[in-house]
C-alpha cells in the first residue's frame, strides 16, 4: 500500500473542501452572522490539506487498493472536517458527524431538533453538503485535478453509483467534467423555477441543493410543507424525478440522441414504477385520508417521488396514514433511482437484473442445459455483473437486519429499527414511527448513531468499496 499517494490526494480533496466553505461564509456575512465558525473551519481544513499534499509528495503509479482507500478515507475526511461548523453552534461531536455524513451521502437523516434555531449559514452549508455529495466528492476532484489521469478511473469506479461505469468521454476527467456541467445546468434551472414560484434566493438555493443531491435537508422543520404551495411542490417533484435518472443519459438526450432516456430500459422501469406507486397510493389516500382526489394525488405523488429517489422531503406526516399507505411508502424505499444518478436505494437496474436472473434460474430448472443470456438495453450482461448484483443484495440485507437488531436491542421499536436501518443504508433519510418525516434521529442511542453513520457511508459507496477494506488480503503485500 502506497500511503504517500493516499495522503497526497486526501490533501488535495481537503483543500477543495475548505474552498467550498467560502460560500456559507459569504451567507454568514450577508445575514450579519458570526464569521468565526466558517473562517476557522476554512483555515483548519485548507491548512490540513496543504500539509498533507506537501508532506506526501509522490509520482508513484497507482494500484486499485489505493483507489479504494482514497475513496473511503476521502468521504470520511469530508464528513469529519465538514462537521467543524456544527461544533460552534453547540452540536455534539457524534451528532455533528452524523449530520455531516448524512449531508455528504445525501441521506437526509437529521439529529437537529429545532432546525430554525440554527444560523442560516450553517443550514446553507448543511444543504450544500448534499449537493456536493450528490454528484460525488471524488468525481469533483477528478474534474478539477488534471494530474490524476488514468488513476482517476479507479476512483471514479469506486465511487460511481450502480453496477455499470457509464463513460461519456474516453478520458475519465472529461466524463467527470460533463457530469458536473449537466448537474450545474439542471440545478440552475431549478433555482430559476423556484424563484419564479415566489421563493427567496436563499430558499431556492438550499432546496435546490437538497433536491438535485436527492438529500432532503431543508432549513425548515416542516420541510416543503412550510410553503404550502402546489406549484413549489410540483417543481421540486419534477426535479427530484430528474435527479433520480442518469446524468449521463441527460447529457446524451440534450447533445446527441434525443431518445436516450426513452430508449433506456432502466429509465422506463423507473418511470413505470413511480407512476404505478403514485396511482396506487393516491387511490388509497383518497379512500382513507383525503376527501378529494386532487389532495390525495398532490400528497401521494410528492411522497412517492421523494422516497423512491431517496430524497426524503416531506409535505405530509405519513406516520399518520393508514397501514396500506405506509406499506406503499416502505415498498418505494426499495425502488431507488437509476444507476449514475444522485438517487439512493439499491438502484432500479439491480432490481431489474435480479428479477431477470431469478426467472432464468427458474427456467434452468426445467431446461438445465439451456444457454439463455440475460440482456439489458439489448446487450448481454456479463455473468460477473450478475454475481456482483446477487452479492450486493445479500450484503445489503445482512447489514440492514444486523443494524436493525442492534437498534432493537438498545430499546427502539421494531418498525423504527427496521426503517432507520434501511433508510440510512439506502441513503433515504426518513423512516417510520420515531424516525418519521417529522421525527429525527436524535433519540437514537449514541452507539447506534455510530452504526448508522457507517450505514450511510456503506450505502453511498455501494457496500463493496468499504467492505473490501475489511479483508486481511487488502492490506497484505
pTM above 0.85, yes or no: yes
What 3-state DSSP class applies to 312? coil
Please, what is the end-to-end C-alpha distance for the chain in angstroms?
Answer: 7
Burial of 450 (0-12, 13-18, 19+ CB in 10 A): middle
173-182, 336-345, 351-360, 371-380: the lowest-pLDDT one? 173-182
Q: Per-residue b/e over 269-305, b at no fewer than 16 CB within 10 Å? A: bbbebbeebbebbbbbbbeebbeeeebbbbbbbbbbb
Distance in angstroms (rounded) separating the CA atoms of residues 49 and 46: 5
Distance in angstroms (rounded) separating the CA atoms of residues 40 and 47: 11
Per-residue pLDDT reduced to its tens digit, 285-325: 999 888 889 999 999 999 999 999 988 898 888 888 888 99
**What distances in angstroms separate CA 467 from CA 5, 155, 285, 472, 474, one per listed residue?**
21, 16, 41, 11, 10
Burial of 79 (0-12, 13-18, 19+ CB in 10 A): buried
Could you count the other beta carbons within 10 Å of the beta carbon of residue 142?
Answer: 26
Q: Which residues contact 325 (CB under 8 A, 6 or more apart)?
A: 281, 284, 285, 288, 289, 318
Does position 256 have pLDDT exceeding 80, yes or no?
Answer: no
| Residue 194: band (very low, low, confident or very high) from pLDDT cuts 50, 70, 90 | very high
Could you count the other beta carbons within 10 Å of the beta carbon of residue 30?
Answer: 12
94-108, 244-258, 457-471: the lowest-pLDDT one? 244-258
pLDDT of residue 149: 45
**Are 432 and 328 in contact, with CB atoms under 8 Å apart?**
no
Q: Which residues contact 108 (CB under 8 A, 6 or more apart)?
A: 102, 130, 210, 215, 216, 217, 310, 311, 312, 427, 428, 429, 430
**Are 339 and 164 in contact, with CB atoms under 8 Å apart?**
yes
Dihedral sign, Cα of residue 185, residue 186, residue 189, residue 190: negative
Distance in angstroms (rounded) separating the CA atoms of residues 35 and 28: 6
Which one of 86-90, 168-172, 344-348, 441-445 scores highest in mean pLDDT? 86-90
Of residues 348 and 143, which shows the higher confidence score? 348
Of residues 222 and 42, which shows the higher confidence score? 42
Q: What angle do the packed helices 293-308 and 265-288 form, to 10 degrees?
A: 140
Per-residue pLDDT reduced to its tens digit, 76-92: 999 999 999 999 999 99
Closest CA to 241 of 172, 352, 332: 332
Instruction: Provide the 8-state DSSP code for 316.
Output: S
Could you identify the residue written with the cell 447489514?
399
Distance in angstroms (rounded) separating the CA atoms of residues 87 and 85: 5
Distance in angstroms (rounded) separating the CA atoms of residues 476 and 438: 47
Average pLDDT over residues 352-362: 89
pLDDT of residue 158: 46
47-61, 81-95, 142-156, 432-446: the lowest-pLDDT one? 142-156
Q: Which residues contact 15 (CB under 8 A, 6 or more apart)?
A: 45, 46, 49, 50, 53
Share of the chain above pLDDT 70, in %: 90
Instruction: Provide the 8-state DSSP code for 219.
Output: S
| Residue 163: band (very low, low, confident or very high) from pLDDT cuts 50, 70, 90 | low
| Residue 365: band (very low, low, confident or very high) from pLDDT cuts 50, 70, 90 | confident
Amino acid at each position: 500500500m502506497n500511503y504517500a499517494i493516499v495522503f497526497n490526494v486526501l490533501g488535495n480533496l481537503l483543500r477543495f473542501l475548505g474552498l467550498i466553505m467560502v460560500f456559507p461564509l459569504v451567507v454568514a456575512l450577508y445575514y450579519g452572522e458570526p464569521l468565526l465558525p466558517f473562517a476557522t473551519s476554512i483555515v483548519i481544513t485548507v491548512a490540513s490539506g496543504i500539509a498533507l499534499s506537501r508532506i506526501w509528495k509522490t509520482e508513484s503509479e497507482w494500484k486499485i487498493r489505493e483507489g479504494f482507500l482514497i475513496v473511503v478515507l476521502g468521504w470520511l475526511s469530508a464528513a469529519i472536517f465538514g462537521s467543524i461548523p456544527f461544533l460552534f453552534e453547540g452540536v455534539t461531536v457524534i451528532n455533528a458527524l452524523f449530520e455531516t455524513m448524512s449531508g455528504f451521502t445525501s441521506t437526509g437523516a437529521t439529529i437537529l431538533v429545532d432546525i430554525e434555531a440554527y444560523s442560516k449559514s450553517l443550514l446553507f452549508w448543511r444543504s450544500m453538503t448534499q449537493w456536493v455529495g450528490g454528484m460525488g466528492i471524488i468525481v469533483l476532484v477528478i474534474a478539477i485535478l488534471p494530474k490524476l489521469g488514468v488513476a482517476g478511473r479507479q476512483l471514479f469506479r469506486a465511487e460511481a453509483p450502480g453496477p455499470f461505469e457509464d463513460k461519456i468521454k474516453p478520458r475519465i476527467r472529461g466524463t467527470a467534467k460533463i457530469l458536473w456541467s449537466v448537474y450545474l445546468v439542471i440545478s440552475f434551472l431549478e433555482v430559476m423555477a423556484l424563484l419564479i414560484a415566489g421563493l427567496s434566493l436563499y430558499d431556492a438555493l438550499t432546496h435546490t441543493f437538497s433536491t438535485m443531491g436527492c438529500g432532503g435537508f431543508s432549513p425548515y422543520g416542516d420541510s416543503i410543507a412550510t410553503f404550502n404551495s402546489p406549484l413549489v411542490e410540483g417543481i421540486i417533484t419534477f426535479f427530484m424525478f430528474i435527479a433520480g435518472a442518469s446524468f449521463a443519459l441527460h447529457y446524451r438526450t440534450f447533445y446527441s440522441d434525443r431518445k436516450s432516456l426513452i430508449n433506456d430500459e432502466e429509465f422506463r422501469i423507473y418511470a413505470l414504477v413511480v407512476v404505478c406507486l403514485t396511482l396506487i397510493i393516491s387511490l388509497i389516500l383518497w379512500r382513507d385520508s383525503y376527501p378529494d382526489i386532487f389532495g390525495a394525488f398532490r400528497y401521494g405523488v410528492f411522497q412517492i417521488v421523494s422516497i423512491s429517489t431517496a430524497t426524503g422531503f416531506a409535505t405530509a406526516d405519513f406516520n399518520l396514514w393508514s397501514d396500506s399507505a405506509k406499506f406503499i411508502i416502505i415498498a418505494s424505499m426499495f425502488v431507488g433511482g437509476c444507476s449514475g444518478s444522485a438517487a439512493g436505494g439499491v438502484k432500479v437496474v439491480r432490481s431489474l437484473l435480479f428479477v431477470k436472473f431469478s426467472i432464468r434460474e427458474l427456467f434452468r430448472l426445467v431446461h438445465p442445459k439451456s444457454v439463455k443470456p440475460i440482456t439489458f438495453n439489448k446487450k448481454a450482461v456479463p455473468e460477473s455483473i450478475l454475481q456482483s448484483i446477487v452479492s450486493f443484495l445479500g450484503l445489503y440485507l445482512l447489514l440492514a437486519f444486523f443494524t436493525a437488531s442492534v437498534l432493537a436491542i438498545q430499546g427502539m421499536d421494531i418498525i423504527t429499527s427496521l426503517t432507520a436501518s434501511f433508510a440510512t443504508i439506502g441513503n433515504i433519510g426518513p423512516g417510520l414511527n420515531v424516525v418519521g418525516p417529522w421525527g429525527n434521529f436524535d433519540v437514537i442511542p449514541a452507539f447506534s448513531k455510530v452504526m448508522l453513520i457507517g450505514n450511510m457511508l456503506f450505502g453511498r459507496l455501494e457496500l463493496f468499496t468499504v467492505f473490501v477494506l475489511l479483508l486481511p488480503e487488502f492490506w497484505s503485500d
